[in-house]
Amino acid sequence: MILAIDQGSSKTSAALVSMNGTILASATSGGACYFCDGVETAFKEIHKAVGLAAEKAVLYPLEITRVYGGIAGANWPDEIEMLKKEIQTRFNTQNVDVCNDCVVALRGGTDKPNAIILCAGTAFNGAVMTDGKIRYVFNNYIAPADQGGGALGSRALQAVFDSHIGIREKTVLTKMLLVYYGYDNTDQLLLGRDRNRLKYPLQTIAPLLMEAACQNDGVALEIITEFAKSIARYATGGLKKYDLSGKDCDIVLSGGIFKSKHPLLVETISAEIRRVSCQARVVNAEFEPVVGAALFGLIEAGAKAGEIEQCKKSARTLGLVRIITNNYQEK
């Protein structure tokens, strides 16, 4: 069978897929990035997710013939080769493909040969695919101000400080963040940040930011608009650099940030795309990235169209779809 892996900073997912395309079982464990947390920690979470999936499917011993892994931090050729060898050794198969985790998210949103992925979760990454082949992954070239939920949290926190000193208008985010972090005033919140004493990571602020936007808070709406325009540049840049502006091309959105119930983020990105291409279509990915890894694995194994459709059908049955709560898709 095929083992599909999606490992990101917030969770690790594994799916066991038969050669007829059926996803037999899937499971999740804790998130990790081998670069930040170490190889052993990252693979501990991978093995845990695989073991849980095997328990669900009652598959002992596992007979894995191919692995397709989207791994956080797999940014450079030497890193990818190292991770590939680790997987070959640990799962006793030579048929291993490794890519950055944003790449498998792309296949979870489109079958088109020309596509760009914008994947915003804890952090952010993007990739460009032309003629069915990945041409470029932005990786370390992503600016710190664009790094997903962490960047949104940082922007929201700074907006509260700016509001406090009068260089930005008042915002409901002030009260929200004081309550969230358990401080009495903005001075305490500032010291908590500067002295690295905030009890929750910055990326966890993102839902509060979206909630403030739903209350029509002007500062929150401005932050979301600025962020959307900034990350849209990776898509518009990819369209121009790889001559996709006049071609049928999907701009796939994936990651927890794009599950927001407020439509402004997606609408702003769509508007920025329209400034460059009328043919490009913005889509919120239907499937969780681990399904994209399964689809890539099947394609590498020479699967036919019926087996690809069976994979999607079983993914829907198992609930491996992204829950979108905005006005574009309700699942």
3-state secondary structure 277-290: CCCEEEEECCECHH
Using CA atoms, how far residue 26 sits from 129, 193, 324, in Å, is 27, 38, 20
Q: Please write the tens of the pLDDT for every residue from 26-72.
A: 999 999 999 999 999 999 999 999 999 999 988 877 789 999 999 99
Asked whether residue 221 is assigned to any structural domain, the reply reads no
- Read off the CATH number of the domain in which 302 is found: 3.30.420.40
The Cβ-side half-sphere exposure at 109, using a 13 Å CA radius, reads: 30
Asked whether residue 71 is assigned to any structural domain, the reply reads yes
Asked whether residue 303 is assigned to any structural domain, the reply reads yes
Asked whether residue 278 is assigned to any structural domain, the reply reads no
Asked whether residue 22 is assigned to any structural domain, the reply reads yes
Asked whether residue 143 is assigned to any structural domain, the reply reads no
Residue 183's domain spans which residues? 151-215
Asked whether residue 224 is assigned to any structural domain, the reply reads no
163-190: average pLDDT? 98
- In a shared domain, residues 169 and 84: no
Token pair of 104 as six digits: 């498998």
Domain boundary among 163, 182, 215: 215
Domain boundary among 215, 235, 251: 215
- In a shared domain, residues 8 and 87: yes
Asked whether residue 230 is assigned to any structural domain, the reply reads no
Domain boundary among 194, 215, 236: 215
Residue by residue, DSSP assigns 126-188 as EEEEETTEEEEE-GGGS-GGGSHHHHHHHHHHHHHHHHHTTSS---THHHHHHHHHT-SSHHH
- In a shared domain, residues 71 and 8: yes
Q: Structurally, how many domains does the chain consist of?
A: 2
Mean pLDDT value across the chain: 94
Q: Is the pLDDT of residue 219 over 70?
A: yes
Threshold 0.75, pTM exceeds: yes
Report the pLDDT value the prediction gives residue 330, as an integer from 0 to 100: 29
- In a shared domain, residues 92 and 10: yes
Q: Where are the alpha helices (DSSP H) in 242-304?
A: 264-274, 289-300
